[in-house]
Structure 1
Amino acid sequence: MAKLVSKVYGDALFSLALEEGNLDEVWQEVKLLDKVISDNPKLLAVIAHPDMTKVKSKELVERLFKGKLSDNVMGFLNVIIQKGRFGDIKSILDYFQSEAKKYKKIGVVYVTTPTGLSEQQKAAVVSKLKECSEYEDLEMNYIIDKSVLGGMRIRLGDRVMDNTIQRKLSDMSRSLGKIRI
């Protein structure tokens, strides 16, 4: 159900931003709002609390964000409050951002290695990924995980390219387990 809620409200905000021609501005505001909510979890708990009236929630949001967010985003927040969906704001903002990235052809990449990569290695990974994908830009996330032992695991969207020693050992172990003596 939460996925449906985030899609419905996230699509509404995304469509409005496209219609108004201000996707970049709305996206920046969404990032700001997401950061504020992530940095202040009690704020979400207060605004979405069942004992908090919709009027008080709206007043609090206006005091906090009026002048910092556009009228469209403020109106969007008011709709979410009126519909009793402010508790779903994180998933709605996440959905909006994923749609904006799809629209802008920005791929989110997770590169897992046992040690850090040099700048030259990072540039080579980016270059190769741009060559073999439809994305115009990439949001790179580098993760160090010593358990992979060697090699590299790259996750781009729902695709995973796993060339780690950890995976190869796991594959060998499975193959050996199937041998009957």
Structure 2
Amino acid sequence: MSNQAIANRYADALFQLAKEKNILEDVNQELQVAKEVAQSTPEFTQFLTHPKVTNAQKQEFIQKSFGQTLSETSLHTFYLLVDRKRMDILIPMINKFQALAYEAQDKAEALVYSAQPLSEQEQQQIAMVFAKKVGKSQLVVKNVVNPEIIGGIKIRIGDRIYDGSVKAQLDRMERQLIAGTR
């Protein structure tokens, strides 16, 4: 069985438990914090996957690192991953859990690429307009600054891309000129 399939099973089990306890949003936020720590600190994952470190040491490390931030449900999920030597699926599990949680809450994540950082008001405007286009009640906007865009914005929601960037328009014009259609 692939790691992604295993991650999906753990995420689904955690999702069902969080939904049953009515703490879906809290668990999702906790897991996003843990994901950020794991991605920004490679030593974190190395320690938790190292074969010479005992499970008790790993669990103590998790307790000290996240004890105050994680709910009992999330903490026990991490302990289970340690016991089953599955900490390598932490990030895919968190990603799948977020997808399940957003689907249950009728939300979607929108990655908005722009040349300059967007203001909070601009992000809210984008969320309001594009939530209707994709049939969701709410969009969670994450702004990614990319100077190559030159101007405008590029939005990715799931597998849909809305590209209103200057770079995309210049690329289209270049293709048309090369093809001789203009």
Same fold (TM over 0.5): yes
In structure 2, distance between residues paired with 1:122 and 1:9: 33
In the TM superposition, residue 67 of structure 1 has moved relative to its aligned partner by: 5.8
In structure 2, distance between residues paired with 1:144 and 1:32: 21
More displaced 10-residue stretch of structure 1: 107-116 or 11-20: 107-116
Change (3 A) 1:128 1:86: same
In the TM superposition, residue 113 of structure 1 has moved relative to its aligned partner by: 3.2
Q: In structure 2, what is the equivalent of residue 34 of structure 1? A: 35
Secondary structure of residue in 1 paired with 2:50? coil
In the TM superposition, residue 112 of structure 1 has moved relative to its aligned partner by: 2.6
In the TM superposition, residue 179 of structure 1 has moved relative to its aligned partner by: 4.2
Change (3 A) 1:15 1:128: same
More displaced 10-residue stretch of structure 1: 156-165 or 126-135: 126-135
In the TM superposition, residue 161 of structure 1 has moved relative to its aligned partner by: 1.1
Does residue 149 of structure 2 align to residue 126 of structure 1?
no
Change (3 A) 1:31 1:164: closer
Q: Which runs of 4+ in 1 moved over 6 A?
A: none
Q: In structure 1, what is the equivalent of residue 166 of structure 2? A: 165
Deviations 1:87-124 (A, max 9, x none): 22122122212221222122212223334556664444
Change (3 A) 1:51 1:23: same
Change (3 A) 1:66 1:130: closer
More displaced 10-residue stretch of structure 1: 37-46 or 82-91: 37-46
Structure 2 contact 112–143 (Cα < 8 Å) conserved: yes
Q: In structure 2, what is the equivalent of residue 85 of structure 1? A: 86
Q: In structure 2, what is the equivalent of residue 12 of structure 1? A: 13
Structure 2 contact 150–167 (Cα < 8 Å) conserved: yes
Q: In structure 2, what is the equivalent of residue 71 of structure 1? A: 72
In structure 2, distance between residues paired with 1:32 and 1:61: 13
Structure of higher CA gyration radius: 1
> Percent identity over the alignment?
24
Q: What do you get for the CA RMSD once the two structures are aligned?
A: 2.8
Q: In structure 1, what is the equivalent of residue 176 of structure 2? A: 175
Q: In structure 1, what is the equivalent of residue 50 of structure 2? A: 49
In structure 1, distance between residues paired with 2:31 and 2:60: 19
List runs of 5+ in structure 1 lacking aligned partners: none
Tell me how many residue pairs correspond in the alignment. 180
In structure 2, distance between residues paired with 1:117 and 1:19: 37
Secondary structure of residue in 1 paired with 2:164? strand
List runs of 5+ in structure 2 lacking aligned partners: none
More displaced 10-residue stretch of structure 1: 80-89 or 137-146: 137-146
Change (3 A) 1:37 1:110: closer
